[in-house]
Amino acid sequence: MSRRIAFVTGGAGFIGSNIAARLACDWALDVVVCDWLGPAEDGKWRNLAKHPIGDFTQPERMFEWLGAHAHEVEVVIHMGAISSTTEPDADRIIQTNFGLSRDLWGWCAEHGRRLIYASSAATYGDGGLGFDDDNGLEALAALRPLNAYGWSKALFDLYAVRQAARGVAPPQWAGLKFFNVYGPNEDHKGPMKSVAAQIWPDVAQGRQVKLFKSYREGVADGGQLRDFVYVRDVVDVVEWLTKRPDVNGVYNLGSGRARSFRDLAQAVFAAAGAPPQIEYVAMPPALQGRYQYFTEARLGRLRAAGYEGQFTSLEDGVADYVRGYLSQPDPHQ
């Protein structure tokens, strides 16, 4: 009997490993992870250690592996990317985030395999054009991201829509514009971890936490707003897409509600049963001109496509993350 395979790039990373964990619950499906693990002492392998993985391959052997198993692959879930908004090597960013995605698109189109991929809310830049996930070519081309990471994601969204309009597309394709995702399995991300994960050690030790001051009139320190979305909700949407091959396009994926960094910090303290202690510190000069003061996912198109799942409130998501993972001896999902 032929295997049924979900091929997850970046499957040992933060969002990818949570997706792999959920899909691995289906014993009839083999989840194959494509990623680098790095040094064993760094612990990235622990993101996968609690779940049955059907196979594993490194990114440099990805197309070799896919070629050998093309008849078994049902869906490619492409989460692999350079996700650092401060990565200095633009050539590395464009090759990884655009070039590899373009080649995977071509492989899926050629072999008739479905593709779900990670885009980003960073494509919206300063938010001056709003946060509507308009799939029109003019709307996508008008976006002006603030960094090379966001630009690389915007470039591929535009490529996908153009190729689909030309009739050169996988049988299903869906891009997900992730907003500020937080949750288990992000420890390996270092400075790119969610703020909840970054401040947890200080909260756990009863220390003061640091948030950035505001440099915009009318926005209080710590009052910068983000759409924080719990990774469990992200996985719910991805799992739903794997069961809805008729849904195509680029969609926002956030909670649909902007909350402040102050709200987030207070939720972490509350989950720990501790009074909030917050100090506001200067933002690095390099960030001040490239900083988003507001993001909020418009979810109308996702709802119109048929998604009826509810999104976890910030307080409930942070409480689950803190009590179920961050405070535990083994914090991995």
CB atoms within 10 A of CB 246: 8
Residue 189 is among the residues annotated as catalytic for this protein? yes
- Whether 75 and 107 have beta carbons less than 8 Å apart is answered as no
Q: Give CA–CA dist 309/20, Å, rounded.
A: 20
Residue 148: closest CA among 90, 218, 72: 90
* Long-range residue pairs from 27-30, CB within 8 A, at least 24 positions apart, any chain: 27/52, 28/4, 29/4, 29/5, 29/74, 30/3, 30/4, 30/5, 30/6, 30/54, 30/55, 30/72
Task: List C-alpha distances in Å: 208 to 187, 201, 279, 318.
Answer: 20, 10, 7, 18
55's enclosing H/E stretch is strand 55-57
CA-only gyration radius of the chain, Å: 19
Burial (CB count within 10 angstroms: exposed 0-12, middle 13-18, buried 19+), residue 185: buried
Give me the catalytic one of 189, 193, 210, 213.
Answer: 189
Buried (b) or exposed (e) across 1-35, using 16+ Cβ within 10 A? Answer: eeeebbbbbbbbbbbbbbbbbbbbeeeebbbbbbb
Residue 251 is among the residues annotated as catalytic for this protein? no
SS3 label, residue 271: helix
- Whether 123 and 154 have beta carbons less than 8 Å apart is answered as yes
- Whether 176 and 237 have beta carbons less than 8 Å apart is answered as yes
Per DSSP, 170 falls in state -
Give me the catalytic one of 117, 124, 149, 325.
Answer: 149
Catalytic (active-site) positions:
149, 189
